[in-house]
Amino acid sequence: MFESLFDIDFAASEAQLRDVVERCEELKSKAAAAQARATALWAQKRAAAEQAAGMSARGRGKGLTSEIALARRDAPACGNTHLGMANALVHEMPCTLAALEKGQLSEYRALTIVRESACLSVEDRRKLDAELNEEAHGFDGWGNRRVAAEARRITARLDAAAVVERNNKAVKDRCVTTRPAPNNMVYVTFLMPLAQGIGMYAALKREADMCGDGRSRGQVMTDVAYERVTGRDVAQPVSVSLNLVMADTTLAGDDTEPAWLDGYGPIPAGFACKLTGDAATDAEAKATLRRLYRHPKSGQLVAMESRARIFPKGLAAFIGLRDRTCRTPYCDAPIRHHDHATPDREGGETSALNGLGACEACNYAKEAPGWRVSTSKHEGEHTAEYTTPTGATYRSIAPPLPGVPVRQKVSLAEGRISIDLVTFQAA
């Protein structure tokens, strides 16, 4: 039935094309509603099956959120949100689900309503659901902020104490995170109580207002924040340990293949060479080199010169460099565990082949009944296969190392290409 809609006619008029855009948007909302119904029913069936199998209440439902996320091609960490939203819409918010089904709300706006009302009792949530949907008259012309504000307003009126309690709980989630920004920059984000955050921002702004050395307000605020937190001048070199992986040919200036900075991602060759050059010439910095070997065909890490004599430590470093992030498909979380694909207790070896980089949540999820993870290696390509309790399989292949791939007909032993790992350590 969708073929006629998805086949875009080249001769279509602008009005017809607008119509296609509108109908596709409606379909996305409808699909989100169907996905929520299927997810909630899946959880019910799983719970019933586990209960019938005599599983304790505490053990039930483990791993299901990861399965839901994988089915949606999303990071396992998001599975909880998907399941929570599905359960809330199906069991507690019929009017919001109906609005989603009719295309009046997008999935994002429906999720916003679910989030804003999460602190309410089921009874109050049903009240909010009915009230908001009646007031909105089909949400015509309502933007993301208005949907959030109205849901928040009704929530606060229905149960002010619950909102206060939620706010108090939120304080516990305060944290500092980083994510890459373009042009070798990075965003450092503080999630903190409102008063403290505004206070910190105001203090930095005041500092900038008093400074008249030609730097912009943003520049002074950033410099002051750095100096206060690290206790160092911005002009002083940074003294942290960096793991930088780059091709020896790039280090020698023969090519400009991007390097890989652990915990950040790819960086241009020029910048990588500047980092290594700075470390080599700075008397206080300590630059160390370690040779890594790349498979000629897959480009993956095959061996590493090991300084550490203790086998597991070197192996953990090897797996970390090979996998870079958690190996579960769609999960980009940092590696917290060096996990056995086939568990130790089932005779799984402590080896690079059986080892996998995993984040905490994924390592826990795959311990749930019905999950199986196996690893294989073919032509230097390390593959992990995840089988879920419903029989779905997902594959993840380790990423190649930096450097130009070599596709010559050479045996592995002869075709090893050396890559240098440069580590800067604190002086």
Binding site for Zn ion (CB under 5 A): 326, 328, 331, 333, 359, 362
Comparing CB distances to Zn ion, the nearer of 39 and 328 is: 328
Comparing CB distances to Zn ion, the nearer of 127 and 337 is: 337
**Cβ atoms 171, 191 nearer than 8 A:** no
CA separation for the pair 192, 176 (Å, rounded): 9
Comparing CB distances to Zn ion, the nearer of 120 and 326 is: 326
Comparing CB distances to Zn ion, the nearer of 80 and 184 is: 80
Burial class (CB in 10 A: 0-12, 13-18, 19+), 394: middle
Alpha-carbon distances, residue 230 vs 128, 189, 284, 348 (angstroms): 47, 16, 17, 44
- Name the β-bridge partners of 48: none
3-state secondary structure of 14: helix
Comparing CB distances to Zn ion, the nearer of 333 and 404 is: 333
3-state secondary structure of 208: helix
Comparing CB distances to Zn ion, the nearer of 269 and 362 is: 362
Shortest Å distance, C-beta 361 to Zn ion: 6
CA separation for the pair 246, 244 (Å, rounded): 6
Shortest Å distance, C-beta 385 to Zn ion: 15
Comparing CB distances to Zn ion, the nearer of 65 and 276 is: 65
Instruction: Give the DSSP per-residue string, 239-296.
Output: ---EEEEEEHHHHTTS----EEETTTEEE-HHHHHHHHHHHHH-TT-EEEEEEEEE-T
Shortest Å distance, C-beta 178 to Zn ion: 18
CA atoms within 13 A on the CB side of 40: 16
Tell me the CA end-to-end span of the chain in Å, nearest whole number.
Answer: 67
**Cβ atoms 235, 247 nearer than 8 A:** no
Comparing CB distances to Zn ion, the nearer of 331 and 417 is: 331
Shortest Å distance, C-beta 294 to Zn ion: 25
| Token pair 């979380």 in the structure block, residue | 333
Shortest Å distance, C-beta 73 to Zn ion: 14
Q: Token pair of 402, please?
A: 């930096």
DSSP label of 232? S
Shortest Å distance, C-beta 413 to Zn ion: 34
Shortest Å distance, C-beta 362 to Zn ion: 3
Q: Taking the CB of residue 67, how many other CB atoms lie within 10 A of it?
A: 24
Shortest Å distance, C-beta 295 to Zn ion: 25
CA separation for the pair 191, 37 (Å, rounded): 33
Shortest Å distance, C-beta 217 to Zn ion: 39
Label the pairing between strands 286-294 and 417-425: antiparallel
Shortest Å distance, C-beta 355 to Zn ion: 15
Comparing CB distances to Zn ion, the nearer of 328 and 396 is: 328
Q: Token pair of 103, please?
A: 């295309």
Comparing CB distances to Zn ion, the nearer of 125 and 327 is: 327
Q: Taking the CB of residue 56, how many other CB atoms lie within 10 A of it?
A: 8
